[in-house]
């Protein structure tokens, strides 16, 4: 059973701080990794994708991937109250089939 694990939180950070979200996955052959943000009552929206080891930056967001450790993380710099949401880590497994396996999400609260 392919699994994606996340700390359920809740994670609470003050405004302006760095929020660090972590995710581990069990399928060593996984190829593609995604972070989705889901506001309460809304559907998930993609915020970052990463496919190779290392860091990928997009504005205030940085995704980090370490395939050897089967670990992917998301850093949010200068956190804003509008970043308060549940963050879902998702992994596409080996074989390239479009079957996203999601973690259960980490709820982030950014306090003004």
Asked if residues 86 and 60 have their Cβ atoms less than 8 Å apart, the reply is no
Asked if residues 72 and 50 have their Cβ atoms less than 8 Å apart, the reply is yes
Question: Rule CB under 8 A: which of 80-109 touch other proteins?
Answer: 88, 90, 92, 96-105
What's CA 34's distance to the chain center, in Å?
Answer: 6
Q: How far is the CB of 17 from other proteins (least distance, A)?
A: 26
Nearer to other proteins by Cβ, of 25 and 44: the residue is 44
22 near other proteins (CB under 8 A): no
Nearer to other proteins by Cβ, of 68 and 98: the residue is 98
């Amino acid at each position: 059973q392919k699994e994606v694990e996340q700390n359920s939180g809740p994670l609470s950070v003050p405004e302006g701080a760095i929020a660090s979200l972590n995710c581990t996955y069990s399928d060593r052959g996984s190829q593609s990794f995604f972070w989705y943000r889901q506001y309460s009552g809304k559907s998930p929206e993609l915020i970052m994708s990463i496919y190779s080891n290392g860091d990928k930056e997009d504005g205030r967001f940085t995704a980090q991937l370490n395939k050897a450790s089967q670990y992917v993380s998301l850093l949010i710099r200068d956190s804003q109250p509008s970043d308060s949401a549940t963050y879902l880590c998702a992994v596409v497994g080996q074989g390239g089939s479009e079957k996203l396996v999601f973690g259960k999400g980490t709820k982030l609260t950014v306090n003004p």
